[in-house]
Structure 1
């Protein structure tokens, strides 16, 4: 699978002269409540296509028990190409652009790739900090079923398998007593059952 540029005015190419001394790290922001196989497929495909060292999942919120971090830790265990970044975790005092500025300042040897679904691309395009964010990090877009958008922002579109799964839909299934077998990593599903999360 290659990089698909869906709109002619968002053409971006990776610099073939990038120095090997710089780290290439992906950032995947989300709620991950719960994390599911589509999240993992997206992260893995982007990492492979763009030859990133790692993709770091950036959860936005968690409860006092650390439920989301526990779910992420179980889903990512054993995968060296994945990790967790807590910069945005319950960090309501900072805007996204402030977090990204802090990250780039603290890791000046790293190029960051900010991974977004097409639904978030549409939202970000209307945000006042969008251009500033694009100057700090490389924006990476992936298509989500039901969301197709164009933008004038400089975005790398990466072609990934279209898997119509959402955390919202999974929570609804579980509240109805339906076990989302194969849609959530086994270790995550076991933890959900152990803690009786989302109605299971």
Structure 2
């Protein structure tokens, strides 16, 4: 099976994440999309991160009704911070029957050459890239293993959602109802 890997902190998962994942699962040759919940992104501060199991739980609730979307916690047992190449290697060893492709936004493509072993990721896995607002042009777009995917141009930010929660503003329609209920019940991001 060809599986797209959508890495992120998902802090919290929101409608933008779900639209991109569903677009990848239904409008490309990817058969499934796995959300790889990252305990710690090497490029982000961890101060505002909810516990990884709470974020995984929110992802699972958000995608429960879509059999083409899965949540995966493989990075929880790996050294932190996790590097994408190490996770890809571990997934390939654990699931040799699958082929994996990395899903990323066009804004990340600009910085991709800064990633650990980015050349190996390109060579062995390849990228499925969706458009992001204010993305710069990248020479990598012409690479044979970079697939540009037409998808809605979304500018929904988890930071905006967390700030809205702290300011007691509504996050309705920005996150799935099940995620909103969990955030309210557990008083996340307050």
- The normalised TM-score by structure 2 is 0.85
Instruction: Show the 5 A alignment for 1:89-168.
Output: 89=76, 91=78, 92=80, 94-152=82-140, 153=143, 154-168=145-159
Partner of 2:70: 83
Deviation per residue, 1:9-31 (Å, 9 max, x gap): xxxxxxxxxxxxxx111100001
In 2 relative to 1, CA 94–165 (structure 1 residues): closer, same or farther, beyond 3 Å? closer
Alpha carbons 1:60, 1:90 under 8 Å: kept: no
Shift of the alpha carbon at 1:130? 0.8
Partner of 1:47: 25
Alpha carbons 1:125, 1:151 under 8 Å: kept: no
Instruction: Show the 5 A alignment for 1:26-45.
Output: 26-45=4-23
Alpha carbons 2:83, 2:116 under 8 Å: kept: no
Q: How many residues in Structure 1 have an aligned counterpart in Structure 2?
A: 177
Shift of the alpha carbon at 1:136? 2.1
Shift of the alpha carbon at 1:51? 3.0
2-structure distance, mates of 1:44, 1:156: 16
Displaced runs of 4 or more, over 4 A? 62-65
In 2 relative to 1, CA 109–171 (structure 1 residues): closer, same or farther, beyond 3 Å? same
Q: Which has the larger radius of gyration?
A: 1
2-structure distance, mates of 1:117, 1:139: 10
Shift of the alpha carbon at 1:151? 3.0
In 2 relative to 1, CA 126–67 (structure 1 residues): closer, same or farther, beyond 3 Å? same
- The normalised TM-score by structure 1 is 0.81
Shift of the alpha carbon at 1:47? 1.1
Alpha carbons 2:38, 2:82 under 8 Å: kept: no
RMSD, matched Cα: 1.9
